[in-house]
Amino acid sequence: MCLSIAEEQLIELAKRFGTPLYVYDEKRIRENFGEFRAAFPGAKICYAYKANTSLAICSILRQEGAAADVVSQGELRMALKVGVKPEDIIFTNNAKTKEELEFAIDSGVIIDVDSLDELNSISEIGKPAKISFRVNPAVDPKTHPKIATGMKDSKFGLHLENDIALEAYKKAKELGIEIAGVQMHIGSQITDMTAFEDATKKLMDFVLQLKESGITLKFIDIGGGLGISYEGEDTPKPKDLAAKVLPIIKEYYTKIGYESELWLEPGRYLVANAGVLLCQVQSVKKTPYKNFVNVDCGFNTLARPVLYDSFHRIKVLGKKGSEETYDIAGNICESGDILGKDRELPAVEKGDVLAVLDAGAYGFSMASQYNCRPRPAEILVRENSVEVIRERETWDDLWRGETVPDDLNK
C-alpha cells in the first residue's frame, strides 16, 4: 500500500464516513515536503495549490514552510487564508482579469506576467506591483500533451526566441515596475529529467542575458512538474531533480556574477501519494465480453483517468491475489467513465471497498457535481486522530444559489 494507513483502517473509515471518500495521510504529506526541502536547501518551495486546495492540507504545508503558487484569485485567497505571507505567493495565469490583478497588487504578492498586454494592464492600474515574467523555454517534457506547458506552441509564457521575453523585461523597466524574478513551468507528471536540464540551461542563459542588459533578479523559479510513480515503478525523486539542475544553476551563477533565490512549484509530488479515493462496489456484472465492477464514484469524483487516460492502481481492500480481469466502471452515464481498464484483481463482490491509489493530487480539486452527485467528504488521518476536513456535500448544495423564476413554479 502506498499509504501508511492500514487497509483495515481504510475499510473502517469507509463504513464510518460513507463512500466515495477521499482519505489523506498527514505524515506522508510532511515527508514529501521534507524530501523537497532536503534536496533543495535554502530554496523557496511554493506548493502549487491547484493540486489540492483543501484548507487543512494547505495548512500542513504552510506549517512545513511552504510558500504558494496560485493560479486564480480564489487560490490566492486560500493561500492568504491559511496564513502564507504575501511575499511568499506567486500568482501565475495566462488570462488574469483586471480585478484579479488589482487584488494581487493590493495583497502584495508576486504577479507572474504572461503577456505584454498583461504588463500594460498592470501599468494602467497604476499601483506599485512586484512582478516576474513567465518564460517559455520551448522544450518537450515528454508527458501527456494536455499537461505539457513549456512547448514552443504552448499557450503559456513569453518566448525566449526573438528576444520576446527580453523586450518584455526592458519594457517593465521602462514602465518603472518592480521586477522580482523569472519563472517557467514546463509541464506536469514529468519523469524524464532531460527537459528540466534543457529548460534550466535556457533559463539561466536568459538570466545572463538580462544581467548584460542591466537587469538583476531576486529569484529564479523553475516551476513544478516532478512526476510520481503511479504504477509502482521507480521514478526520479526531488534529490534526482536537484542533482540535474543545481549544478547547472551553480555553474551559471559564476558567469552571471550574482546568486538569486531559487524557487520551485511542486504540486503533485507533495500530495498525490498521500491520498486515496475509497469507493464501494455496487454490483459486479459479467458480460460476454468483459467483467465490470460498478462503483459509487465516477469521473465527477476523479477526472484524471478520463481526461488524460491516467493510470491509478486500484486495490480491493482486505483481499489478495489476482483471479479475474475487470474494468472498474464509474457511475457517470458516459461509456468513457472507466476508472481502471483490464485490472487483475481478487474476486470482487458487491459491498467490497476499493481504494484508488495516488489520488491526493488533482483528485478532489478537479471534482464536480456532474450528474447531480454531491462531492465527497475528505478525511485526514493524523498521528492520533482522524478528522473530517471537508464534509460531504448535501442535496441542498446541488441547488445552492439557483433561482426558478416565479412563473416557472406554476
Give the three cell numbers for residue 114.
Answer: 504572461
Nearest Cα to Cα of residue 358 among 249, 231, 257? 231
Rounded CA-CA distance 344/327 in Å is: 9
Beta-strand pair 44-48/386-390: unpaired
Question: Closer to ligand LLP at the Cβ: 118 or 352?
Answer: 118
| Distance of closest approach, residue 352 Cβ to ligand LLP, in angstroms | 26
| Distance of closest approach, residue 210 Cβ to ligand LLP, in angstroms | 20
| Distance of closest approach, residue 395 Cβ to ligand LLP, in angstroms | 28
Regarding 195 and contact with ligand LLP (CB under 6 A), the answer is no
Contacts of 286 (CB under 8 A, 6+ apart): 292
Regarding 51 and contact with ligand LLP (CB under 6 A), the answer is yes
Residue 287 exposed, middle or buried by CB count within 10 Å (0-12, 13-18, 19+): exposed
> Of the ranges 1-9, 30-38, 163-171, 266-274, which one interacts with ligand LLP (CB under 6 A)?
266-274
Each residue 71-110 as x (binds ligand LLP by CB under 6 A) or -, in order, gives: ---------------------x------------------
Question: Closer to ligand LLP at the Cβ: 185 or 373?
Answer: 185
Regarding 189 and contact with ligand LLP (CB under 6 A), the answer is yes
| Distance of closest approach, residue 310 Cβ to ligand LLP, in angstroms | 6
Rounded CA-CA distance 282/293 in Å is: 8
Question: Closer to ligand LLP at the Cβ: 187 or 376?
Answer: 187
Regarding 44 and contact with ligand LLP (CB under 6 A), the answer is no
| Distance of closest approach, residue 225 Cβ to ligand LLP, in angstroms | 4
| Distance of closest approach, residue 265 Cβ to ligand LLP, in angstroms | 4
Please give the single-letter amino acid code of residue 209: Q
Distances, alpha carbon 156 to alpha carbons 51, 114, 121, 138, in Å: 19, 7, 18, 10
Regarding 225 and contact with ligand LLP (CB under 6 A), the answer is yes
Give the three cell numbers for residue 377.
Answer: 467528504
Q: Contacting ligand LLP (CB under 6 A), which of 64, 69, 352, 358? A: 69
- b/e per residue, 169-208, with b = 16+ CB within 10 A? beebeeeebebbbbbbbbbbbbbebebbbbbbbbbbebbe
Q: Is residue 35 helix, strand or coil?
A: helix
| Distance of closest approach, residue 409 Cβ to ligand LLP, in angstroms | 40
Distances, alpha carbon 26 to alpha carbons 5, 42, 160, 240, 267, in Å: 10, 23, 40, 24, 15
Each residue 113-152 as x (binds ligand LLP by CB under 6 A) or -, in order, gives: ----------------------------------x-x---
Q: Contacting ligand LLP (CB under 6 A), which of 157, 266, 330, 376? A: 266
Residue 372 exposed, middle or buried by CB count within 10 Å (0-12, 13-18, 19+): exposed
Question: Closer to ligand LLP at the Cβ: 148 or 317?
Answer: 148
Indicate which residues carry an active-site annotation. Answer: 333
Sign of CA dihedral 206, 210, 211, 217: negative
CA 216: distance to chain centroid?
Answer: 30
Residues binding ligand LLP: number (CB under 6 A): 22
Question: Closer to ligand LLP at the Cβ: 109 or 256?
Answer: 109
- Output DSSP code: residue 49: G
Each residue 347-386 as x (binds ligand LLP by CB under 6 A) or -, in order, gives: ---------------x------------------------
Rounded CA-CA distance 248/361 in Å is: 29
Q: Contacting ligand LLP (CB under 6 A), which of 137, 141, 150, 224? A: 224
Residues 267-286 that bind ligand LLP (CB under 6 A): 267-269
Question: Closer to ligand LLP at the Cβ: 326 or 362?
Answer: 362
Give the three cell numbers for residue 288.
Answer: 460476454
Question: Closer to ligand LLP at the Cβ: 149 or 331?
Answer: 149
Is the CB of residue 149 less than 8 Å from the CB of residue 188?
yes
Contacts of 153 (CB under 8 A, 6+ apart): none
Question: Closer to ligand LLP at the Cβ: 282 or 310?
Answer: 310
| Distance of closest approach, residue 139 Cβ to ligand LLP, in angstroms | 15
Instruction: Note the residues at the interface with ligand LLP (CB under 6 A).
Output: 48, 50-51, 69, 92, 147, 149, 185, 188-189, 223-226, 265-269, 304, 308, 362
